[in-house]
């Protein structure tokens, strides 16, 4: 679960990591007062959960009131729905540092990533000069110790007196990582100001999805959806992505669903939506189909090969859904796994013609979507 | 032959009295697995499928010799159950829970490495050596998937495993041991760590890995092949080759992989190491044939 | 640093360990209201830091208002100064359990001690049936895990449903141990009530003296002293105990001081006071002598053998103290160690006759105290 | 000969730029100790007594081979310094700080055991092999205490060590290596753990231990003698035999020792194991003589 920049920075502040002065606004009306509080120059930053805001024009540096008000208006009018803006003092920057803590899955440790060359081009640096990015594993049973933070700061090239404040920031960021059961905490850039202080220019915190029960304050973070279908899928907890192709996928299991996705592309077909109703959602055929039907598509392709997700349960769910929703497009089923024969009986009784081979089902769907098969 | 478990492995079931635990215990026994004891706190003294239940692993060990533990334990209690098991010096653990907190999983992985133990899972169906034994929740009775044979199979996925394995079986092969390492970001066991066991197992003639986007497990397999840690034929299938990139996790993900880490990058690494990568599930069996892997 | 029972119980409550209802009073006047709130029968417990309160009559079980008020009066009038009383509801007890967490120095772990036979005779049990007391080490890097608390509770003989509440209490007590940097946390007895609930009957928490800076709320706990000398020693941070013998000790180093103590006893002498002005106090000769002089004694024996605690500094301090305080009794010095020759010169210039052998100095002191030597 | 340190031991000093660090570094060098590097965060690049100072232990190791680390570090920073040193694989550490938080010391002891490292201290003057080398804050120039010889000496106390050692020296003996394990409730190293080193050291002909009330270190020495882990003559002196009991720490202290743990109990255990226990400091040297321990 991703946090907005302003939420991440609130956690930083709580952990005593310095952040710029700022005011968050939710409407254009609130802009004037906020701008007056923050002063000029300032930075107006769209609070959205997607990355690459700078390159997408969602962060505006402004020096005067008219340009600031203009920027606020432009951002609130942006086609991407922006729930709020952070108006933040501009910082007099000497250097930008990259700092993050994530997971070293192989070692079973936390992993600090750090570079003295932070900023928007960090990924280019990672690809072209990976040696400029430090990786420092941390034993989470022992926790991060001050000497480790010092070592990282020295290795980045920061000697006295900056070493101390950088090391302190690293320790505090680690505290956020642990306290908030994060999969990622990131400060990029961490500003070194002209007066040699350290301040978090941006903030990303992503809480592990299996640990959100400890941090329920953020559970309504995903509030902007591209469509009603996306919103409904989100509320049902069903993984769903909308595209503009022809075939609606209604598959079970992420691996199988992405494989079907590949097979359709390989066969020259196109996808209308990705929808995965496996695992805990395998009894939600009705909701899944309702979401699929809300997306324009020429055919719905249902592929499952369940073990705990029983084939007969899914088949019955699909049959019930068809009866209730009366879909206006053809449906191809390829339901296999536990209680497969019962599933076949259920589907056939409802007049469907179940298939048993995924690749065959995909070819049929592509062909039907192109109007080659009825 | 098989790796990790066979019909001689004496298995303890944690969470045996739960609905899921009891259901799969019955099936594990039906397949031939030696389930010798169960553990559920405060349910000691009961029996499930004829298996005696104890309050603690320590108690169970007073009455039984135990080689491996199977955990049917909720995700948030998994760390405790794994640590309890490791404290009793049981070095093979399978945990199927889906939803184990990430930091718990880091601790589990770390502790298992320190104890030189193998923890398979979470978020998996477990491990099965068809016709011999299983620890997990595989519908082993589906004979077009769970057929005994000489192919080692490892997977990060659930439903895709059935899809691919069915194609392997369709081509006349079967599995020596199938291991679901699980779909979590921090699995307890990684593909490459199991390769030396498949390498040493005489019956296993080739290995199939079923991978996906994210992490570096497939690249580690490529390394193991390059370093001749694994020298038998290896065929891979990876889902998500054409899938759009999901929302990235900050920059850290990209930094860790140095800008690589896509499914295509994984395919390139595997092919460069000499593995064959199937483009679709039905090709997996064909590629095994093409490599001259015997069917019996 | 020891906490009073009421302070320990407040920490238990904070950690969600059940404690009896209670009201604390500091004066007899407050008794009636407090007794009304708590009701009868109740237990009136002197809040003092010494152990063995039950056997010393400092805990009174009362059933009626008159006996309660009488008990309150008796306790507040007790020769031992009792700063406050805890009036606590009486609990309907089925069983008494012993539970503590301390340190396993050899293993570098926390150590849970537990017995199903708790209560006032736990030390007798420890001596006579040590097998009835469970010892369970805990790795503090990993922390106590729930399975460990369950194992302890089962090993004590508690099965369902009590296992759960006992295990929970152990986990919570461990939380107190860690949070408060304790050298000891102890619940004895932990009551099992007739209705099978678990409640802390008593509470001991002792915070590590090297960690008190994190817990400054308790730093004024030692407020009752047997004498002015004790109070002054406490305020100066000088280890000091008063006895009723003849020789006042003013030595440096705990090991050396207790050795001098032994030597005096062996030689048939008696001690007026133990005072140790070594380590960080080695420059406090003036204060040390002032405290010694406040205690009746026939001779003051000063023995030191310092390394970092320099002999010349201590000698000068003693000479200055003698000049200022003009002691009314003989002083024997045996000052050795770093800068010993300078020390000798200082002492001799002041007219003292320094000795160099501890045992000789002890014999002289014993002899002088008996009036055999001038 | 000596144990733990001698003139060939290459020593790193943490906290070398502090007042105490610099003072004792000078004396360590004066005695002959090979002090090769110092560490103080943010003081890298300076020199102290001609010794180069680095910001981190890792940095120091880039330029020097280091066998042991001496810590002149405040008590609340000691855990960090010990862990930093252990992370750099330096397995011999002396820390003299008085006031190390108890839980820090538990972690230090635990971690040192896991790393098979020796941490001597805190709350001690350290370790000295007279005329060869020292790590600590001994006034080695006091020749009626710090005299080279063939007696291994271990102590929990400070001033009492001078008292007793002076008596050993008075009788014509000297110390091979004197180790102050420190007066804290959780010392980094325990008496019995050093006995095998004294046993193996040819020069050491006997060991003197200076103990006191509390803990079980003296009883562990008795056990080591009983189990023939240590077979040379051993003389003990313990202070506090007649001292009144202090305020007890709840019941736990009494429970841990099963009602024993007094100085007299320790004396009984040592004597039962075959050690001699001196009644007063001046007897220690006499008992060594009585045991026929040679003076050279």
Q: In terms of DSSP H, where are the helices of chain D?
A: 19-31, 57-63, 78-87, 102-114, 159-170, 191-200, 217-226, 252-256, 263-273, 281-290
CB contact under 8 A, C307 and D138: yes
pLDDT score recorded for residue D186: 95
| Residue C160 to chain A, least CA–CA distance (Å) | 28
**Does C93 score more than 70 pLDDT?**
yes
DSSP letters along A308-368, please? SS-HHHHHHHHHHHHHHH--SS-EEEEEEETTHHHHHHHHHHTT------HHHHHHHHHHH
Report yes or no: B14 and B81 within 8 Å, Cβ to Cβ: yes
Return residue ranges of chain D for CATH 3.40.50.261: 145-291
pLDDT score recorded for residue C224: 63
Cα–Cα distance, C248 to C276 (Å, whole number): 11
- Dihedral angle sign, alpha carbons of residues A123, A124, A125, A128: positive
| Residue D255 to chain A, least CA–CA distance (Å) | 30
- C141 contact residues in A (CB cutoff 8 A): 141-142
User: Does a structural domain hold residue C5?
Assistant: no
> pLDDT tens-digit profile of B34-93?
999 999 999 999 999 999 999 999 999 999 999 999 999 999 999 999 999 999 999 999
> pLDDT tens-digit profile of C96-121?
999 999 999 999 999 999 999 998 88
Surface of C (19-48) touching D: CB under 8 A: none
The CATH label, of 3.90.950.10, 2.60.15.10, 3.40.50.11810, 3.40.50.720, for the domain at D1-123 is 3.40.50.720
Mean pLDDT of chain B: 93
**Does B257 score more than 80 pLDDT?**
no
Tell whether A76 and A141 lie within a shared domain. no
- In this complex, how many residue pairs, one in chain A and one in chain B, have their CB atoms less than 8 Å apart? 201
Structure tokens, B64 = 């039984």
Return residue ranges of chain B for CATH 3.40.50.720: 1-123
Structure tokens, A301 = 């392709």
User: Confidence class of residue B248 from pLDDT cuts 50, 70 and 90?
Assistant: very low
Mean pLDDT of C248-268: 94
CATH classification at residue C241: 3.40.50.261
CATH classification at residue C65: 3.30.1490.20
CB contact under 8 A, A279 and B98: yes
- Name the more confident of C374 and D224: D224
Best to test chain C binding among B55, B57, B86 (most C CBs inside 10 Å)? B55
> pLDDT tens-digit profile of C328-345?
999 999 999 888 999 999
Surface of C (145-164) touching B: CB under 8 A: 145-147, 150-151, 154, 159-161, 163-164
Report yes or no: D98 and C279 within 8 Å, Cβ to Cβ: yes
- Name the more confident of D85 and C128: D85
Last residue of a domain, one of A68, A89, A110: A89
Tell whether A73 and A99 lie within a shared domain. no
User: Does a structural domain hold residue A74?
Assistant: yes
What residue numbers bound the domain in which C110 lies?
93-218
CB contact under 8 A, B159 and A204: no
Structure tokens, C236 = 């100066």
Tell whether A166 and A292 lie within a shared domain. no
Report yes or no: A34 and A65 within 8 Å, Cβ to Cβ: no
Cα–Cα distance, B251 to A122 (Å, whole number): 7
Tell whether A79 and A98 lie within a shared domain. no
User: Does a structural domain hold residue C8?
Assistant: no
User: Does a structural domain hold residue C1?
Assistant: no
Q: Which helix (H) or strand (E) holds C3?
A: none
Report yes or no: B163 and B212 within 8 Å, Cβ to Cβ: no
- A159 contact residues in D (CB cutoff 8 A): 42, 44, 55
Cα–Cα distance, B147 to B176 (Å, whole number): 9
Report yes or no: A254 and A304 within 8 Å, Cβ to Cβ: no
Minimum-distance CB partner of A145 among D43, D58, D83? D83
pLDDT score recorded for residue C155: 97
- Name the more confident of B257 and B86: B86
Q: Write down the residue that tokens 């026994």 correspond to.
A: B29
- C113 contact residues in D (CB cutoff 8 A): 252, 255-256
Best to test chain D binding among A139, A142, A146, A147 (most D CBs inside 10 Å)? A147
CB contact under 8 A, A105 and B187: yes
- A251 contact residues in B (CB cutoff 8 A): 159
- D82 contact residues in A (CB cutoff 8 A): none
User: How many Cβ atoms are within 10 Å of C77's Cβ, its own excluded?
Assistant: 9
CB contact under 8 A, A100 and B185: no
**Does C371 score more than 70 pLDDT?**
yes
- In this complex, how many residue pairs, one in chain A and one in chain C, have their CB atoms less than 8 Å apart? 3
- D73 contact residues in A (CB cutoff 8 A): none
Best to test chain A binding among B136, B158, B187 (most A CBs inside 10 Å)? B158
Structure tokens, A1 = 């679960």
Among all residues of B, which ones are annotated catalytic?
Answer: 251
Q: What are the residues facing D238 on neighbouring strands?
A: D211
Tell whether C191 and C97 lie within a shared domain. yes
CB contact under 8 A, C258 and D248: no
Cα–Cα distance, A271 to A274 (Å, whole number): 7
**Does C271 score more than 50 pLDDT?**
yes
User: Does a structural domain hold residue C80?
Assistant: yes
- Secondary structure of chain C: what % helix, strand, coil (to 5)? 40, 25, 35
User: Does a structural domain hold residue C12?
Assistant: no
Cα–Cα distance, D156 to D182 (Å, whole number): 5
**Does B116 score more than 80 pLDDT?**
yes
| Residue A171 to chain C, least CA–CA distance (Å) | 18
Best to test chain C binding among A138, A139, A140, A141 (most C CBs inside 10 Å)? A141
Mean pLDDT of B211-240: 95
Q: What are the residues facing B135 on neighbouring strands?
A: B127
User: How many Cβ atoms are within 10 Å of A155's Cβ, its own excluded?
Assistant: 15
Tell whether A145 and A53 lie within a shared domain. no
User: Does a structural domain hold residue C317?
Assistant: yes
Mean pLDDT of C266-286: 92
Tell whether C181 and C282 lie within a shared domain. no
pLDDT score recorded for residue D247: 47
> pLDDT tens-digit profile of C29-41?
999 999 999 999 9
**Does B7 score more than 50 pLDDT?**
yes
User: Rounded to the nearest 5°, which phi and psi values hold at A331?
Assistant: -125, 125
Surface of A (194-253) touching B: CB under 8 A: 204, 206, 208, 210-211, 241, 243, 251-253
CB contact under 8 A, C151 and B56: yes
Q: Does A179 touch chain B (CB under 8 A)?
A: no
Tell whether C129 and C203 lie within a shared domain. yes
- A150 contact residues in D (CB cutoff 8 A): 41, 55-56
Kindly report the CATH number that applies to the domain delimited by D145-291: 3.40.50.261
> pLDDT tens-digit profile of B12-37?
999 999 999 999 999 999 999 999 99
Tell whether A263 and A203 lie within a shared domain. no
Weakly modelled stretches of chain A, pLDDT under 50:
none
- Residue A242 DSSP SS3: strand
- B166 contact residues in A (CB cutoff 8 A): 305, 336
User: Does a structural domain hold residue A12?
Assistant: no
Minimum-distance CB partner of A147 among D42, D56, D111? D56
CB contact under 8 A, C186 and D251: yes
- The tally of domains found in chain C comes to 3
CB contact under 8 A, C142 and B83: yes
> pLDDT tens-digit profile of C156-211?
999 989 999 999 999 999 999 999 999 999 999 999 999 999 999 999 999 999 99
DSSP letters along A269-314, please? --EEEEEB--GGGTT-HHHHHHHHHTS--SEEEEEEEESSS-HHHH
pLDDT score recorded for residue D248: 46
Last residue of a domain, one of C69, C89, C109: C89
Tell me the three-class secondary structure of D171-231, residue by residue.
CCCCEEEEEECCCCCCCCCCHHHHHHHHHHCCCCCEEEEEECCCCCHHHHHHHHHHCCCCC
Write the CA distances from B15 to B19, B75, B77, integer angstroms: 9, 12, 10
User: Confidence class of residue C218 from pLDDT cuts 50, 70 and 90?
Assistant: confident
pLDDT score recorded for residue D275: 97
CATH classification at residue C118: 3.30.470.20
Weakly modelled stretches of chain D, pLDDT under 50:
247-249
Mean pLDDT of C2-7: 95
| Residue A172 to chain D, least CA–CA distance (Å) | 16
CB contact under 8 A, C108 and D98: no
| Residue A140 to chain C, least CA–CA distance (Å) | 9
User: Confidence class of residue C373 from pLDDT cuts 50, 70 and 90?
Assistant: confident
pLDDT score recorded for residue D39: 98
- B87 contact residues in C (CB cutoff 8 A): 147
pLDDT score recorded for residue B259: 62
pLDDT score recorded for residue D250: 59
């Amino acid at each position: 679960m991703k946090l907005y920049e302003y939420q991440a920075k609130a956690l930083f502040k709580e952990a005593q990591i310095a952040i710029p002065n700022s005011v968050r606004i939710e409407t254009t009306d609130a802009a004037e007062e906020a701008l007056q509080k923050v002063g000029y120059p300032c930075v107006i930053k769209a609070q959205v959960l997607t990355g690459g805001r700078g390159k997408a024009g969602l962060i505006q540096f402004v020096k005067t009131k008219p340009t600031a008000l203009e920027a606020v208006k432009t951002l609130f009018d942006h086609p991407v729905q922006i729930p709020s803006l952070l108006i933040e003092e501009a910082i007099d920057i000497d250097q930008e540092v990259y700092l993050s803590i994530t997971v070293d899955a192989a070692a079973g440790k936390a992993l600090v990533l750090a570079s003295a060359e932070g900023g928007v081009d960090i990924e280019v640096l990672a690809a072209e000069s990976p040696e400029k990015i430090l990786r420092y594993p941390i034993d989470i049973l022992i926790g991060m110790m001050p000497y480790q933070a010092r070592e990282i700061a020295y290795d980045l090239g920061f000697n006295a007196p900056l070493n101390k404040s950088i090391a302190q920031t690293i320790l505090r960021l680690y505290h956020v990582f642990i306290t908030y059961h994060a999969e990622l905490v990131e400060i990029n850039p961490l500003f070194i100001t002209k007066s040699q202080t350290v301040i978090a220019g941006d903030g990303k915190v992503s809480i592990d999805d299996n640990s959100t029960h400890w941090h329920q304050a953020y559970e309504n973070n995903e509030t902007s959806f591209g469509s009603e279908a996306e919103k409904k899928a989100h509320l049902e907890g069903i993984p769903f992505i909308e595209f503009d192709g022809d075939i609606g996928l209604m598959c079970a299991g992420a691996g199988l669903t992405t494989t079907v996705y590949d097979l359709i592309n390989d066969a020259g077909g196109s996808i209308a939506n990705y929808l995965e109703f496996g695992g805990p959602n395998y009894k939600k055929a009705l909701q899944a189909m309702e979401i699929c039907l809300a997306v324009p598509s020429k055919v719905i392709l249902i592929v499952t090969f369940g073990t705990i997700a029983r084939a007969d349960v899914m088949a019955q769910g699909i049959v019930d859904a068809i009866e209730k929703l009366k879909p206006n497009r053809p449906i191809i089923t390829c339901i296999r796994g536990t209680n497969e024969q019962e599933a076949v009986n259920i589907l056939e009784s409802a007049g469907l013609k179940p298939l048993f081979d995924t690749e065959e089902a995909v070819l049929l769907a592509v062909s039907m979507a192109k109007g080659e098969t009825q | 032959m098989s790796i990790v478990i066979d019909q001689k492995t004496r298995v303890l079931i944690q969470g045996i009295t739960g609905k899921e635990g009891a259901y799969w215990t019955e099936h594990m026994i039906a397949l031939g697995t030696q389930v010798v004891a169960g553990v559920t706190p405060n349910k000691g003294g009961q029996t499930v499928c004829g298996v005696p239940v104890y309050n603690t692993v320590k108690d169970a060990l007073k009455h039984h010799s135990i080689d491996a533990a199977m955990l049917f334990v909720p995700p948030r209690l998994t760390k405790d159950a794994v640590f309890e098991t490791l404290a009793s010096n049981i070095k093979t653990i399978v945990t199927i829970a889906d939803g184990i907190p990430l930091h718990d999983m880091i601790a589990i992985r770390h502790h298992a490495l320190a104890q030189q133990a193998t923890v398979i899972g979470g978020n998996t169906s477990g491990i099965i050596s068809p016709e011999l034994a299983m620890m997990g929740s595989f519908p082993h009775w589906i004979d077009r998937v769970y057929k005994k044979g000489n192919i080692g199979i490892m997977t990060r996925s659930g439903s895709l495993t059935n899809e691919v394995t069915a194609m392997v079986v369709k081509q006349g092969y079967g599995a020596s041991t199938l291991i679901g390492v699980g779909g979590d970001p921090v699995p307890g066991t990684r593909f490459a760590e199991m390769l030396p066991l498949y390498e040493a197992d005489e019956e296993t003639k080739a290995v199939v890995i079923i991978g996906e986007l994210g992490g570096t497990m497939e690249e580690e397999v490529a390394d193991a092949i390059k370093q001749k840690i694994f020298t038998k034929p290896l065929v891979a299938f990876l889902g998500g080759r054409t899938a759009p990139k999901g929302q990235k996790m900050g920059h850290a993900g990209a930094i860790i992989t140095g800008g690589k880490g896509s499914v295509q990058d994984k395919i390139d690494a595997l092919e460069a190491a000499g593995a064959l990568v199937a483009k679709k599930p039905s090709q997996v069996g064909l590629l095994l044939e093409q490599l001259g892997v015997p069917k019996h």
